[in-house]
Structure 1
Amino acid sequence: MLAETICSAVSAAGLGIAAVTAYRRRFLRAARIAAYALVPVGLVLTGVVAWLSGIVFKPTVWIGLGLLGLAWVLLTATRAVERRGAGGAAKAPAAVAPGASAPALGGGATGPAPKPQAAPAEDFSDIEAILKKHGI
């Protein structure tokens, strides 16, 4: 009942402002204000306001919303932890065993481990040539 009264008062005030605006010969703005002022009354007449006020004032609805929020926080937290790699079970297993390619390299399982080679310096001379060709 209170929500319907508030919506009616807001609509009446909006229509009053629209009338004053139309009196000042700003008809387009007055029509927009009147349209916005009629929305609360339309919501009251369709029953949306009663439905919303019934939801807002029930404690079980707020408990349900709290549980949905908690579930969302738990899901996002577990996803963030999984992305960081902190979860031990979440890591993907290695596709190849560490010593699987050692015999192919000639070192064998008992030989010294091969040293990783440094990445070759990138050569941008062809890119520079293309840029110079186009005058960039």
Structure 2
Amino acid sequence: MSLNKPQLPAEDQVGAAADRAAEAADAAVNTSRRVANDALDHVESAIHTARANVQPAIARIASQAESLARKSLDAVKDGAYNVRDRANNLGDVTVRYVKEEPVKAVLIAAATGAALMALLSLVNSARRNSDR
């Protein structure tokens, strides 16, 4: 015994097929939306995790940079104080030497001046020769 389904007219068959195709397309669109939303949620979560991991590192680096800058500034200040103290000591020693040995001091100053003038003369002469 064969059960034959009653045949729908062609128009109804085409309409039913179109309805099934539209439903399948709607289902595919909805699935695509869910997949895209899940992917965006995952990316957003990854961004929040990365931000949470990066912010402490940035704060730590900034703190280390500030500490290094402070130490560098302190070292420069200490160096400047040392140079100033040495210059003061050297000035005191020079004044004392000039007071104790005025003739030698004048002779040393004259010799130093003559040596500097000779050096400057040589440099100027060499410069004039190289310009030619």
Provide TM-score, normalisation by structure 1: 0.32
Select the structure that is richer in helix.
2
Instruction: Kindly name which structure, 1 or 2, has the bigger radius of gyration based on alpha carbons.
Output: 2
Q: Which has the higher contact order (CA 8 A, sep 6+)?
A: 1
